[in-house]
Amino acid sequence: MYNQPIVIISSYPPRLCGIATFAEEAREFIKKANPDKEVLVISHTDGEGEGVFPLIEINRYDWYEPVADKINELKPYAIHLEHEYGLYEYRDRRGIGDRNEGFLKLLEAIDQYPLIVEPHTIHGRITDFEAEFIYQLCQRSEIVLFKCHYQKWRLDWSFRARGWDIPKNIMVVPHGARSDKRWGIEEISELKTELGLDELNLSDHLVGMIGWIQTNKRWDILLSMWDDIHDEIKEKCGQNWILFSAGTIRDPNHQGDYNLWKSDVIDLQSRGKAHYYEFIPRGDIYYKAMAICDFIVLPTIDETQSGTLARIIALNKPYITTAPMEGLTAQTLESGGGLLFTTKQMLKNNVIRLACDEDLRMTLGENLKKYLDEVVSWEIIADKYNQAYHLARNAKISGKPVIIEPEF
């Protein structure tokens, strides 16, 4: 057991992919929680790094066979699979996908080992395909990790409507967030210097809109109102607040929105109301770009849970985000660290309110600090992973399935 590694199966950097970034950070803390074990990664062919085996050739219908062979060679203590539908979808020459059949075949091929699957997309209102896939996933795994409690109880309702029993092997483990990326107010000036912003004479008050620039992030919602918001804040509380829009494009399919939104920010910048900062949102710079902001606006329209939100929580930054929006809304309610909007007017009102109420910003920030320290820090999440590994191993050895009680 001492020499058996923990193996993560996932996309992995340098791929510009949210799951890849998640896996890299999770691996760091899983290793810290298991100093006596190697934590290895089997990735897609564009993954790199020490202890990384880039074996997943998703353009092959049998991509899972080399992965299973490597697993049998490594004989792992536990296998932790990060799942997102797009990562494991083989498409034939016609462009027709296998609906993740290869992923299920992989689970069957390695079922002699403890299997823990962490799906990153569990919608509240699931399609028939998603329901069937989740059912089969739970049948083939010792433990399935959901990110939010609501995902588990909504699944119970969805399965009951189909006459199915809810799987008993679903464990809730939230998205982890770092606890080592909190800078004090006295350090912000130095961070601006590191980012090359110190000579721009930016306002001391920044509203951040940070991350990948893509269609579903809907930067245009805030950009379309920022002229009025900026002027109303100045009139109401006498302060000059700048919209700090920072990030870059990841998917060429979103080039049109990227060009348009960047142009809008540059126009606002020319009038002293905004600043555009181009950078690749990963690593320390992602945290530093957020750290210089007083609060963050995250106007996304289709997130179930968000790596961007994990960084906001890590920095204890008050935020405003869309609702109802699955994991974003759930974590906002649970943490008490953000404000929600359902209309453009609500967004406008909340931005002005948060800009003009320092006490509210402090309260939301303190709520996020407590939530980070007590619920979602990576140290806590890595311990929950270890609990899952232990339960999965016991289930595999004893032949008795894991039983975790339903939410309600």
User: Which amino acid does the sequence have at 103?
Assistant: F
pLDDT score, position 329: 94
**In this predicted structure, what is the pLDDT of residue 8?**
99
- Quick one: what percent of the chain has pLDDT higher than 70? 99
Q: Fold identical between 6-176+378-398 and 185-376?
A: yes
The values of phi and psi at residue 183, to 5°, are -105, 145
Which of the 8 DSSP states describes residue 326? T
For 200-216, what is the mean pLDDT?
A: 92
Question: What's the rounded Cα separation, in Å, for the pair 101 and 90?
Answer: 8
User: Is 303's pLDDT higher than 90?
Assistant: no
Mean pLDDT of 266-285: 96
Class of domain 185-376: alpha beta
Q: Which residues contact 390 (CB under 8 A, 6 or more apart)?
A: none
pLDDT in tens, 118-148: 999 999 889 999 999 999 999 999 999 999 9
Question: Quick check: helix, strand or coil at residue 403?
Answer: coil
Q: Is 286 exposed, middle or buried (0-12, 13-18, 19+ CB in 10 A)?
A: buried
Count of beta carbons in the 10 Å neighbourhood of residue 290: 27
Task: Decide if 242 contacts 207 (C-beta within 8 A).
Answer: yes
Mean residue pLDDT of the chain comes to 96
Report the alpha-carbon angle 125-21-127, nearest 5.
15
155-167 average pLDDT score: 95
Query: Per the structure block, which two tokens stand in for 261?
Result: 């939104």
What digits encode the pLDDT tens for the residues 44-64?
A: 999 999 999 999 999 999 999
> Residue 152 belongs to what H/E stretch?
helix 149-161
The pLDDT of residue 202: 84
**What are the pLDDT digits (tens) for 316-338?**
999 999 999 988 999 999 999 99
pLDDT category at 203 given cuts 50, 70, 90 is: confident
pLDDT for 406 equals: 86
The answer to whether domain 6-176+378-398 has CATH 3.40.50.1820 is no
d(CA 25, CA 30): 9
C-alpha gyration radius of the chain:
22
Query: Any idea where the domains of the chain sit in the sequence?
Result: 6-176+378-398, 185-376
pLDDT for residue 3: 82
Q: Which two tokens stand for residue 135?
A: 């059912």
What's the pLDDT at 31? Answer: 98
What pLDDT is stored for residue 2 in this prediction?
Answer: 57
Nearest-angstrom CA–CA distance, 143 and 209: 36
Global pTM value: 0.95
For residue 131, what pLDDT is reported? 98
Phi/psi for 266 (5° steps) reads -60, -40
Distances in Å between the Cα of 297 and the Cα atoms of 218, 325, 338, 373 are: 11, 14, 10, 23
Share above pLDDT 90 across residues of the chain, in percent, rounded to a whole number: 93
Q: Could you tell me the pLDDT band of residue 276, with boundaries at 50, 70 and 90?
A: very high
CA distance 82 to 6: 13
DSSP for 345-379 reads HHHHHHHHHHHH-HHHHHHHHHHHHHHIIIIIBHH
Confidence of residue 198 (pLDDT cuts 50, 70, 90): confident
Measured between alpha carbons, how far apart are the two ends of the chain, in Å? 37
